[in-house]
A and B are shown apart, each in its own frame.
Chain A
Amino acid sequence: MTTQRVLRLAINGQPVEVPSPPERILLDLLREDLNLTGTKRGCDLGTCGCCTVLLDGRPTLSCLTLAMLAEGKAITTIEGISSGTELHPVQKAFVQHGATQCGFCTPGFVLSAVALLRDHPQPSREEVVDAISGNLCRCTGYTKIVEAILATRSEGTH
Chain B
Amino acid sequence: MASTRQGEFRLLGGAIPYIEGPLKVSGRSEYTDDIKRPGMLVGKLLRAPWPHARLVRVDTTKARAMPGVFAVLTGEKYPTPFGVLPITKDETAIAVDKSRYIGDIVAAVAAQDELTAERAMAAIEIEVEPLPEYADPRVGRERVDVPIHEKGLNHSNIQKEVVQHFGDVDAAFRGAAATVRVRASFAGVTHAFTEPQCTVAEATPDGRLTVWSSTQVPHYLHRSLSEVLGIPMHRIRVVKPEVGGGFGGKSDPLPHEIACAALALETGRPVKILFDRDEVFYTNHGRHPTYNDVRIAADADGHLLGYDIEAIIEGGAWSSFGTVTTYYNGVMAMGPYRLPSFRYKGQRVFTNRPPSGAMRAHGGTNIRYSVEVGLDELAEKLQLDPFDLRSRNALPPNSTTINEFRVTSTSFLKCLEAVRERSGWADKWRRLPFGHGVGLGCGFYISGSNSPIHFTPKMPQCTVHLKADMDGGITVHCMQADIGQGSNTLLAAIVAEVLGVSLDRIHVSPVDSDVTPVDIGSYSSRVTFMMGNAARKAAEGLRDRLIDATHQLTGYPREAIRVGTERYEVEHRPEIGATYMEALHQAMQATGALQSTGAYTSPPVGGTFKGARAGTAPAYSFAAYVAQVSVDEETGVYDVEKIWAAFDCGRPLNRLAVEGQIQGSIHMGLGQFMGESMDYRGTRLMNPALLDYKIIMPHQMPEVECLLVGADDPEGPFGAKEAGEGPLVATLPAVANALYDAVGVRFYDLPVTPDRVLKGLDRRRAESRAWKDH
Contacts and interface: CB of A to CB of B under 8 A. Distances in A.
B195 A42 contact: yes
A95 B28 CA distance: 14
Nearest to A128: B698
A82 interface: yes
B245 A78 contact: no
Contacts of B690: 42-43, 45, 47-48, 136
B245 A139 contact: yes
A77 B196 CA distance: 21
Interface in B247-279: 247, 274, 276-277
Contacts of A41: 33, 196, 274
B659 A146 contact: no
Nearest to B28: A38
B748 interface: no
B18 A104 contact: no
A16 B678 CA distance: 43
B193 interface: yes
A144 B195 contact: no
B21 interface: yes
Interface string B1-37: 0000000000000010110111111111111011010
Contacts of A138: 191-194, 245, 247, 664, 667-668, 695
Contact of B195 (A79, A102, A107, A110): A102
Contact of B25 (A40, A43, A110): A110
A116 to B, nearest CB: 12
Contacts of B24: 100, 103, 106
A124 interface: no
A141 interface: yes
Chief secondary structure at chain A's binding surface: loop
Contact of B26 (A81, A101, A140, A146): A81
B245 A95 contact: no
A96 B720 CA distance: 23
B253 to A, nearest CB: 20
B26 A82 contact: yes
A73 B696 CA distance: 33
Contacts of A140: 660, 663-664, 667
A145 B27 CA distance: 16
A136 B657 contact: no
A42 B278 CA distance: 11
Contacts of B195: 40, 42, 102, 104
B243 interface: yes
B193 A98 contact: no
Nearest to B489: A98
B656 to A, nearest CB: 4
Chief secondary structure at chain B's binding surface: loop
A101 B486 contact: yes
Interface string A13-57: 000000000000000000000011111111111011010000000
A43 B277 contact: yes
Contacts of A136: 194, 690, 695, 697
A126 to B, nearest CB: 8
Highest count of chain A CB atoms <10 Å: which of B17, B21, B659, B660: B21
Interface string A91-121: 1001111101111111100100000000000
Nearest to A148: B25
Given A38-B28, A50-B194, A102 B666 contact: no
Interface in B650-671: 656-657, 659-660, 663-668
Contacts of A107: 25, 27
A77 B664 CA distance: 27
B486 A144 contact: no
A47 B689 contact: yes
B245 A87 contact: no
Contacts of B664: 101, 138-141
Contacts of A81: 26
Contacts of B28: 38
B371 interface: no
B74 interface: no
Interface residues of A, number: 50
Contacts of A77: 27
B663 A44 contact: no
A35 B28 CA distance: 11
Given A43-B689, A141-B696, A104 B22 contact: no
Nearest to A77: B27
A44 B29 contact: no
B188 to A, nearest CB: 17
Contacts of B26: 38, 78-79, 81-82, 87, 91
B508 to A, nearest CB: 15
Contact of B277 (A42, A130, A133, A145): A42
Interface in B269-292: 274, 276-277
A103 B193 contact: no
B194 A101 contact: no
Contact of B194 (A39, A40, A44): A40
B701 A101 contact: no
A11 interface: no
B36 A142 contact: no
A129 B24 CA distance: 21
B484 interface: yes
A95 B20 CA distance: 9
B435 interface: no
Nearest to B655: A98
Nearest to A46: B691
A132 interface: yes
B18 A100 contact: yes
B157 interface: no
A137 interface: yes
A78 B27 CA distance: 6
B625 to A, nearest CB: 14
A93 to B, nearest CB: 9
B215 to A, nearest CB: 13
7 contacts: A94-B25, A101-B484, A101-B486, A103-B25, A103-B29, A141-B665, A141-B696
Given A102-B246, A138-B191, A142-B698, 9 more contacts: A41-B274, A43-B277, A50-B194, A98-B659, A100-B25, A107-B27, A133-B697, A138-B193, A141-B665
Interface of B: 15, 17-18, 20-31, 33-34, 36, 191-196, 242-247, 274, 276-277, 483-486, 656-657, 659-660, 663-668, 689-691, 695-699, 701, 704
Closest 8 CB pairs of A and B: A38-B27, A102-B484, A104-B244, A103-B24, A141-B667, A78-B27, A95-B21, A101-B484
